[in-house]
Amino acid sequence: MTLNRRDFTRLGALGLAARFAPALPAQPAQKKVRYAVIGLGTIAGHFMPAARSTTNSEITALVSGHRDKAERIAAQYNVPPAAIYNYDNFDQIAANPNVDAVYVALPNSMHAEYTIRAAKAGKHVLCEKPMSTTVAEAESMIAACKTAGVRLMIAYRCHYEPTNLRAVQLIRSGALGQVQTIESAFGFNCSAGQWRLNKKLAGGGPLFDVGIYSLNACRYLTGEEPAALSAYASTIDRDGRFNEVEENVSWTMKFPSGVVAACNTTYGGVMEGYFRVHGSKGWLEVNNAFVYEGLHLRAEFGETRLDEPNPARDPSHFQAEAEHFSHCIQSNLEPKSPGEEGLRDMRLITQIYKSAGIDL
């Protein structure tokens, strides 16, 4: 199926761009998928208004350790007091018929526990990335959801975002010729005191948090899994922030086709999220590739010059992923970024840390 830029923008706005899916025939109106949001931090603050802006999703329950905060947010989303849970009584959600699915927006080390508890409660699970902090946890999450007969999707929102999909389409169409190399990076200067710097909560440093975007992008841009990799890690700033996790990680990957990728991530400096793909006939790059707005694709190949800023604004990425997962639940379909996708990244993250000489 060949899609032009206008097609992708239209499909992306409808949340249907993933995997270049054709327009679906009109369907009877279905009941919205009702979500319990577990954890009310920053990322949940992006997801909740996005879910509310869809046609097939709504927020009907909250899970938080801070009752006062939960009550304030509940008032915004018409969530009844009885549908506010804490982490101790969370399992009671099994008896709530107004919850079909959960959105896990907790620190990384808590993803496995609450995914498994939600599955045992009979609820579908949309879990933030990274899906876990170990390969064993990821495997347990997948197994628990399969045993319970519920769907598990990892919130790789870039899989549903039009500019990233446009880049994939151009590569698949052969516009760049044979891809030779990819460069990608994402990082920021992490301030002291954040949970991201606590290894018990985060699992590791910037690779778990933002480097995973570059790792995953290299996989969806090539459509391949790395055949070999090599990595280095370092800590330059000895200011106390990096007593538990590393500051920088750099790694290279070679794919079966011969494509070589070079990636960097950091918690110690400003590193705009981007990827650049070099092919035998040209190149393309996306700047601000992994953030919520301001994405910009540029490319040159043959006589063609592309300059395509994306005007979409937050929370469009979250809206697309919520719409997709809700559609999968309603239609009994497998999500485009299932648990197995997260597991593949967890296995690669483990290999990267091993190559860099870091124990997880």
Are 245 and 286 in the same domain? yes
Are 212 and 128 in the same domain? no
Are 21 and 152 in the same domain? yes
Listed as own residue / partner, the contacts of 19-22 with beta carbons closer than 8 Å and 24 or more positions apart are 19/336, 20/165, 20/169
Is 319 inside any structural domain?
A: no
pLDDT in tens, 107-165: 999 999 999 999 999 999 999 999 999 999 999 999 999 999 999 999 999 999 999 99
pLDDT in tens, 202-230: 999 999 999 999 999 999 999 999 999 99
Is 350 inside any structural domain?
A: yes
Is 328 inside any structural domain?
A: no
Domain final residue, candidates 141, 157, 173: 157
**Active-site hit among 77, 213, 220, 274:** 213
Are 180 and 124 in the same domain? no
Which residues, 6+ apart, have CB-to-CB distance to 224 below 8 Å? 255, 256, 257, 259
CA distance 125 to 114: 9
Which residues, 6+ apart, have CB-to-CB distance to 355 below 8 Å? 229, 230, 231, 251
**Number of other CB atoms surrounding residue 351 within 10 Å:** 18
Are 116 and 246 in the same domain? no
Domain final residue, candidates 121, 141, 157: 157
Cβ density class 75-104: b for 16+ within 10 Å, e for less: eebebeeebbbeeeebeebeebeebbbbbb
Give the number of domains in the chain.
2
Going by their DSSP bridges, the two strands 57-63 and 124-127 should be labelled as: unpaired
Is 195 inside any structural domain?
A: yes
Average pLDDT estimate for 274-281: 98
Is 320 inside any structural domain?
A: no
Which residues, 6+ apart, have CB-to-CB distance to 258 below 8 Å? 180
Are 117 and 195 in the same domain? no
Please tell me the predicted confidence (pLDDT) of residue 19.
42
Please tell me the predicted confidence (pLDDT) of residue 314.
82
Residue 339 has pLDDT above 60, yes or no: yes
Are 129 and 250 in the same domain? no
Is 196 inside any structural domain?
A: yes
CA distance 145 to 284: 38
**Active-site hit among 129, 156, 220, 267:** 129
CA atoms within 13 A on the CB side of 262: 5
Are 138 and 171 in the same domain? no
Is 331 inside any structural domain?
A: no
Look up 354 and say whether it is catalytic. Answer: no
Is 249 inside any structural domain?
A: yes
Domain final residue, candidates 111, 132, 157: 157
Give the pTM: 0.91
Look up 103 and say whether it is catalytic. Answer: no
Are 250 and 281 in the same domain? yes
pLDDT in tens, 223-268: 999 999 999 999 999 999 999 999 999 999 999 999 999 999 999 9
What residues make up the domain containing 50? 5-157
- The one-letter amino acid code at 136 reads A
Q: What is the DSSP string of 260-286?
A: EEEEEEESEEEEEEEEEEEESSEEEEE
Residue 20 has pLDDT above 50, yes or no: no
Are 95 and 225 in the same domain? no
CA 23 to chain CA centroid, nearest Å? 24
Residue 302 contacts residue 173 (beta carbons within 8 Å): no
CATH of the domain at 128: 3.40.50.720
Task: Give 260's strand partners.
Answer: 181, 254
Helix, strand, coil percent content, the chain, rounded in steps of 5: 40, 25, 35
Are 145 and 167 in the same domain? no
In terms of Cβ atoms closer than 10 Å to its own Cβ (0-12, 13-18, 19+), residue 10 is middle
CATH of the domain at 175: 3.30.360.10
Please tell me the predicted confidence (pLDDT) of residue 21.
42
**Number of other CB atoms surrounding residue 252 within 10 Å:** 17
Are 105 and 30 in the same domain? yes
pLDDT in tens, 164-200: 999 999 999 999 999 999 999 999 999 999 999 999 9
